[in-house]
Amino acid sequence: MVKVAMVGVGAFGNKHLDGLALIPGAEVVAVVDPVEAAARKAAGARGIERVETSLDAVLADDSIDAVILATPTPLHAEQAIACLEAGKHAEVEIPLCDNLADGRAVVEAQRRSGKVAACGHTRRFNPSHQWVRNRIQAGEFSIQHMDVQTFFFRRTNTNALGEPRSWTDHLLWHHAAHTVDLFQYQTGSPVVAAQAMQGPAHPELGIAMDMSIQLLTEAGQLCTLALSFNNDGPFGTFFRYIGDTGTYIARYDDLVTGSEEPIDVSGVDVSMNGIELQDRDFIAAIVEGREPVASVASVLPCYEVLHQVEQQLLDG
Residue 309 has pLDDT above 80, yes or no: yes
- Please give the pLDDT value at position 17: 98
CATH number for region 126-268: 3.30.360.10
The band of 160, judged by pLDDT with boundaries at 50, 70 and 90, is low
Segments in 247-294 forming alpha helices (H): 274-288
**Mean predicted confidence (pLDDT) in 6-33:** 97
Contact 62, 69 (CB under 8 A): no
Residue 295 has pLDDT above 80, yes or no: yes
Where would I find the beta strands (DSSP E) of the chain? 2-7, 26-32, 51-52, 66-69, 89-93, 117-120, 143-151, 191-198, 210-217, 222-228, 236-243, 247-251, 254-257, 262-263
Residue 104 in 3-state DSSP? Answer: helix
The band of 64, judged by pLDDT with boundaries at 50, 70 and 90, is very high
Domain 2-122+274-295's class?
alpha beta
Q: Among 205, 224, 66, which Cα is nearest to 145's?
A: 224
**What does the alpha-carbon distance between residue 89 and residue 272 come to, in Å, rounded to a whole number?**
25
The type of residue at 204 is: E
pLDDT tens per residue, range 103-129: 999 999 999 999 999 999 999 999 999
**What does the alpha-carbon distance between residue 83 and residue 269 come to, in Å, rounded to a whole number?**
30
| Residues 6 or more apart in contact with residue 293 via CB below 8 angstroms | 118, 124, 125, 278, 281, 285
Provide the edge-to-edge strand list for the sheet that holds 247-251: 191-198, 210-217, 222-228, 143-151, 236-243, 247-251, 254-257, 262-263
Residue 28, beta-bridge partner list? 4
Q: What is the mean pLDDT of the chain?
A: 95
Contact 129, 182 (CB under 8 A): yes
Residue 168 has pLDDT above 70, yes or no: no
Residue 99 has pLDDT above 70, yes or no: yes
Residue 287 Cα distances to 87, 213, 238, 242, 267, angstroms: 15, 39, 34, 38, 24
Q: Where are the domains of the chain?
A: 2-122+274-295, 126-268
Q: Strand 247-251 relative to strand 236-243: parallel, antiparallel, unpaired? A: antiparallel
Residue 200 in 3-state DSSP? Answer: coil
Contact 83, 57 (CB under 8 A): no
Give the number of other CB atoms < 10 A from CB of residue 261: 8
What does the angle CA 229 – CA 91 – CA 268 come to, to the nearest 5 degrees? Answer: 80
- Please give the pLDDT value at position 159: 62
